[in-house]
Structure 1
Amino acid sequence: MRTQLARLALPALIAALVLAPAAPAHACGGMLFPSHSERVGGMSEQELLVAFTPERTVLLASAGYKGATGGAPAFILPLAQEPTMVLQSELGVLAALDDLTAPEVHITVDDGDSGGGGLCGSAGGLKDGGGNLGGDRGDVMVLQRGETADYDWTLLAGDTGMSVAQWLDTSGYTLPADYAAALQPYLDAGDVVFAAKLKTDAATGALAPIELHLPPIEPGAFKIPYGLAAHSLPPGESLTITAYLIAAGGLAPGNYPAAAIDPAALIATSETETNYQELYDERVAGDGEPGWVIDASVADFSAASILDAYDLAAEADNLPTGTLRDGVASFAARVPISDARITRLRSTLAAADLRDMTLTKVAGADVDRNLYAVYQTHHGQVLCGIDRAGAGSRGLPLAALLVPLLLLMRRRRR
């Protein structure tokens, strides 16, 4: 069963879009913590959904964090234009997408003594897991204000990183010098700054998903500034990122390598373990150039698919506590997704490897999230197991799986 931490996702980082193709749109941002420069914690996980539809582009983002002592954490993100809708969404949307696309390893145990084998259908998900201020003071203008159940948020326009930092500081945020400098290129381009602060203090937890609706844009004009997120990581640690890209065709990173795990390279090392984590780490590390793993790519995706996935996850008790079906149904109703392809990308990157990511259209090839391996044993006994190697926060190892066929049948119903 997946734990609630596995549903964090990721960022608190969400986005911006532009109508003119010459200026890339931005999604993502960075988290702010009390005593930011002296902190021992930071953003640990990030999860982002981007849906490109003819009517609008919809962003849904959340993040997991730790070590935010001394006050309420917050996040900021550059936007190329003002959103038409800002609301707090339902964590169950991301939970449903995770249940639909997270990789699963199935181990077949071949008992040489008995002359046969047993299919140990495994439902083991493998989400990893998972300077100084400078320039003139300038002017700051408040464009919008609002609140949700968990956030107070503000949309700002400013001339310089210093002016934005000083305004936020007097409003209860603490914007470090490196954030101000990192924001300057966006301000120079005329972007606005979206800032949202939690209403309650929590040293460790997950940000409730924020949902932004913006005008429609081509994926090629979309850019995710993960470089800004580099300033939010716990010192010396990496960030696990999961991104769900939904569009009429296939999408892939334009400036990072990305590929699926090679099924032929998967080897079972025991009844319950494989070399999946090693393959994942190799794919992310790349040949000297960090990259992304394509966990799954599925065609014929629609808003109704999200609700169906939620219902299946609820049936299998695979949802974090507190998720609400009504919230997922509301999201499906207001986001016009139909006849689309969903692609799930995942990576674990150090701060030095985080950079603004572009998107490019690719051929819509299916990537099956199911992987299979065979374990040879000659002990006269077949044990069915779940490979949770590298599962991180998605669950504890299980020694045996008693109902493999039922689990496999549930997956086929999708």
Structure 2
Amino acid sequence: MRNRIAALLLLLLATQLGSLVSPAYACGCGAMVPDGSTRIGVSRETSAVHWDGRTEDIVMRFTVGGNARRAAWIMPVPTRATVELGDGDLFHELDRLTRPESRARYHFLPDSGDWPFSTGSRDGAAEAPAPGAGAPVGVVGREQLGDFDVARLTATDPDALRQWLESNGFTMPDALATEVRPYVDQKWEYVAVRLAPRKQGSVLYGVLDPLRIRFDSQRLVYPMRLSRMAKTPQSLGLYVLADHRMEPASPIGGSAPKVTFAGKVAGTDELAPLTGGRETFLTAIDQEFPDPGRISGDHELRAAASDTPYRRAVYHDELLMVGGFPAWMLALGAVLVVVAAGTLVWLRRRPADAPDVPAASGAPAVPDAPAGPPAGPPAGTA
């Protein structure tokens, strides 16, 4: 029995260790893999996308977890791209602009959170030219941007692309060649990024510095196909800045996209690098991908049927008050006053009760003679 228990414990330990060293890759825009036997997971990807009908500008930020000190990811782009570091204040400003509106929802009668039962309140919460026929892999440029080692590539052979990445320190999964085939056929280019913290011994954890990628595009497209390789559910948040309210053409295998904000916003200082300081329409979209293997392609966004504004609302339940007093208490007091006044009026209008004198049985009642002077003696009496 002891041997069986020991074997079972060893089996469970091996299973847990296997889950720790197995690579967890993929993010909303491309593939991400850790270095060696470490692990990394992208729990959230948030991107701000500006499109003016000709040029697409993407600022992306990853929230990651794990114990990897190095990792790499690749993002396909339809045309030649420029890459630079983004500004983290952009997302703080977008969060502020799309913050839910706080509204009060009043109730007349007290409930468990109101006096006299208790005090306090409770809250409720009610979207460059294409490469020519040359070498299988061409290096357009390579830069070191903060913690990012960025290579911009062209490729006419998916296997050659994977081999180049591996020979240059970008370890990628074997399935990458299969997943990038549609991009190779369409003559897309690629942005390959190695993430390595400059601080010695640091791990890739938390919110990473944003990266800004800009390219020409006649349609608003957000690459998602490589997220099919993800092993865990994915979460995507998109802030779309364009001339009109935008919406995904299809859910591409995820849950129905949810619009969390839609409306025109001014060109603030934080948005100016994307919008040029002009007023634009902002659409905030959230989407979940419980089963990344079902992702069928890239997100293509289009103008919605109308520019209907929308903002979420968070309701705060409050007891209805009038002049600093609960309305129900004032109403109850008014009812008591009315009842008291009505009772008093009724009592005053009721006639006074007179004593009743019953008549003798069988004899008619004789009316009382009028009072007069007493009678004197009969005439002629001495």
- What TM-score, normalized by structure 1, do the two folds share? 0.59
Contact 1:303–1:333 (8 Å) recurs in 2? no
Code of the residue aligned with 2:33 in structure 1: it is L
| Contact 1:102 1:126 (8 Å CA) reproduced | no
2:87 corresponds to: 90
Larger Rg: 2
Give the conservation status (yes or no) of the 8 Å contact 2:221–2:300: yes
Find the counterpart in structure 1 of residue 272 from structure 2.
332
Write the deviation string for residues 111-136 of structure 1: whole angstroms up to 9, x where unpaired. Answer: 6249x9999697x9999xxxxxxxxx
- Distance in structure 2 (CA, Å) of the matches to 1:289 and 1:112: 43
Q: Is 2:220–2:302's contact at 8 Å kept on the other side of the alignment?
A: no
Displacement after TM superposition at 1:29 (Å):
2.1
The 8 Å contact of residues 12 and 207 in structure 1, kept in 2 or not, is answered as no
Post-superposition offset of 1:78: 0.6
Cα RMSD after superposing both structures? 3.5
Task: Tell whether the 8 Å contact from 1:29 to 1:76 is kept in structure 2 after alignment.
Answer: yes
Determine the C-alpha separation between the residues in 2 that align with 1:156 and 1:332: 29
Structure 1 residue 39 displacement after superposition: 6.1
Taking the aligned partners of 1:212 and 1:375, their CA distance within structure 2 comes to 47
Indicate the residue corresponding to 2:266 in structure 1: 302
Q: Corresponding residue for 2:172?
A: 175
What is the rounded CA distance, in whole Å, between the counterparts of 2:106 and 2:213 in structure 1?
47
> Any conservation in 1 of the 2:261–2:310 contact (CA below 8 Å)?
yes
Specify the code of the residue in structure 1 equivalent to 2:287: S
For the residue of structure 2 that corresponds to 1:176, the secondary structure is coil
Asked if 2 retains the 8 angstrom alpha-carbon contact of 1:78 and 1:194, the reply is: yes
Query: In structure 2, do the counterparts of structure 1 residues 57 and 224 end up closer, same or farther at CA, with 3 Å as the change threshold?
Result: closer
Query: CA distance change for structure 1 residues 142 and 349 in 2, over 3 Å: closer, same or farther?
Result: same
Asked if 1:360 is matched to 2:302, the reply is yes
State the match for 1:74 in structure 2. 72
Q: CA deviation at 1:206?
A: 2.4
Match of 1:316 in 2: none
CA contact (8 A) 2:30 2:224 kept: yes
- Letter matched to residue 352 of structure 1: G
- Conservation of the 8 A alpha-carbon contact between 2:254 and 2:288: no
TM-score, L = length of structure 2: 0.63
Aligned length: 278
Q: What is the deviation of 1:157? A: 1.4
In structure 2, the CA distance between the partners of 1:337 and 1:173, relative to structure 1 (3 Å rule), is same
C-alpha separation between the residues in 1 aligned to 2:181 and 2:245? 33
Give, in whole Å, the separation in 2 of the partners of 1:92 and 1:121: 32
**2:203 aligned counterpart, secondary structure:** coil
* Aligned counterpart, 2:368: none
**After superposition, what is the alpha-carbon deviation per residue over 1:86-113, rounded to whole angstroms, capped at 9, x for unaligned?**
2101111012101221435656463624
For residues 197-225 of structure 1, the C-alpha deviation after alignment (integer angstroms, 9 at most, x for no partner) is 1232524222311112223x44xx23223
SS at match of 1:32: strand
Question: Would you say the 8 A contact 2:254–2:289 is kept in 1?
Answer: no
Q: In structure 2, what is the Cα distance between the partners aligned to 1:75 and 1:238?
A: 17
Report if the CA contact (8 A) 1:107-1:119 is conserved: no
Distance 2:136 2:154 in 1: 8
Distance 1:196 1:339 in 2: 33
Map 1:165-314 → 2, pairs under 5 A: 165-200=162-197, 202-215=203-216, 217-218=217-218, 221-232=219-230, 235=231, 237-256=232-251, 290-299=255-264, 301-304=265-268, 307=269
Tell whether the 8 Å contact from 2:75 to 2:190 is kept in structure 1 after alignment. yes
CA contact (8 A) 1:241 1:348 kept: yes
CA distance in 2, matches of 1:334, 1:375: 41
Asked if the contact 1:32–1:76 (Cα under 8 Å) also holds between the matched residues in 2, the reply is no
For 1:370, the equivalent position in structure 2 comes to 313
Using the alignment, how far apart are the partners of 1:289 and 1:332 within structure 2?
A: 32
How far apart are 1:256 and its partner, in Å? 2.4
CA apart distance, 1:56: 3.3
Q: Percent identity, please.
A: 18
Q: How far apart, CA to CA, are the structure 2 residues paired with 1:303 and 1:339?
A: 5
Q: Secondary structure at the match of 1:177?
A: coil
> Aligned with 2:91: secondary structure?
helix
What CA deviation, in whole Å up to 9, does each residue of 1:281-302 have, x standing for no partner?
xxxxxxx972111101012x23
Q: Which position in structure 1 is the counterpart of 2:344? A: none
Shift of 1:46: 0.5
Task: Write the mapping of 1:391-402 to structure 2, written as runs, cut at 5 A.
Answer: none
* Partner SS, residue 80 of structure 2: coil
State the one-letter code of the partner of 2:236.
Answer: I
